[in-house]
Amino acid sequence: MSFTPSGGISAQALKAAIANSVRIALKEDIGSGDVTANLLPPQQPATATIISREQAVLCGQPWVEACFHQLDSGIAIDWKVGEGERVQENQVLCEIRGKARPMLTGERCALNFLQALSATATATRQYADAIEGTQARIYDTRKTLPGLRLAQKYAVTVGGGRNQRIGLYDGILIKENHIAAAGSIEAALQAAQIEAKKAKVPVQIEVEDLSQFHAALAAGAQLILLDNFSLQALKDAVKLANGLAVLEASGGITLENVREIALTGVDRISIGSITKNLKAVDLSMRFTAHP
């Protein structure tokens, strides 16, 4: 299958991450060998289907393919649903054909990736749908599962969200402790601007109240994160900024209040739960062996 990453992820970096994460997952699962799969004859052919057990947004096809192809490049996968499409309960997602041994060995790793990434894509799509028609966009955070940063950020874009900085290297985010260490918002921003020019990265500053917001705006901040602001405070910040800075709401955001937050006029809404509070999508794989 083909896929196009968005956000700050390059296709080359994503492909390398897929190959590496799948290699680690298979090694973790197989160890010295799959002794259960050895019960079957080496050349035993089989057909399998992956089936959804609930509604979801499908995400993770490249990882599934890598799981099987790293074990046996001859395994054929016929997807019945495209990456990013909504799936229904008891829908067949793909048909897999090949030797039974490597198909059984790769089953759990393939499903683990597909269930987890579909969970992130599904959650993101719920938030994106909830704010449809507003100017705001859903963004992710760095609150990702260790070792699966690019995978989850890819899943966010599949679900209709957008990526923040990928890591600590491609963006500056000045938070409370940075401000305290620098001595003031003005000093932190001044130092950040110097570093940003050298590293060629954007600068964002987090503020916790309208007083800090005033100070950041006066110091020339162009991207401001409004942490745990009330609805009225968000509206006030939007009015005060008057287009001079991109405003992002964060903290305490749920499906129940996200639309109200979007309607305040903020540009971005960042949500950590779409990558850290995962409820794996229920999927299963069913085999048919051939005589």
pLDDT at 10: 85
Residue % of the chain over a pLDDT of 70: 97
DSSP 51-107: EESS-EE---HHHHHHHHHTT-TT-EEEESS-TT-EE-TT-EEEEEEEEHHHHHHHH
Q: Which residues are catalytic?
A: 108, 143, 175, 206, 227
Residue % of the chain over a pLDDT of 90: 92
pLDDT at 2: 42
Evaluate if residue 291 carries a pLDDT over 90.
Answer: no
Q: What are phi and psi of 279, to 5 degrees?
A: -120, 105
Evaluate if residue 193 carries a pLDDT over 90.
Answer: yes
Model confidence over 25-65: pLDDT tens digits?
Answer: 999 999 999 999 989 999 999 999 999 999 999 999 999 99
pLDDT at 288: 85
pLDDT at 6: 52
Are 139 and 269 in contact, with CB atoms under 8 Å apart?
Answer: yes
**Which of 162, 187, 237, 145 is closest to 8 using CA atoms?**
162
Count of CA atoms in the C-beta half-sphere (13 A) of 289: 11
Q: What are phi and psi of 105, to 5 degrees?
A: -65, -40
What domains lie within the chain, and their CATH numbers? 11-128+278-289 (3.90.1170.20), 133-276 (3.20.20.70)
Are 110 and 144 in contact, with CB atoms under 8 Å apart?
Answer: no
Average pLDDT (222-235) is: 97
pLDDT-derived band at 3 (thresholds 50, 70, 90) equals: very low
pLDDT at 1: 40
Mean pLDDT of the chain: 94
CA dist list (Å): 45 to 17, 101, 199, 291: 30, 8, 54, 8
Model confidence over 140-183: pLDDT tens digits?
Answer: 999 999 999 999 999 999 999 999 999 999 999 999 999 999 99
Evaluate if residue 90 carries a pLDDT over 80.
Answer: yes
Average pLDDT (76-82) is: 98
Evaluate if residue 81 carries a pLDDT over 60.
Answer: yes
Give the number of other CB atoms < 10 A from CB of residue 281. Answer: 26
Model confidence over 199-218: pLDDT tens digits?
Answer: 999 999 999 999 999 999 99
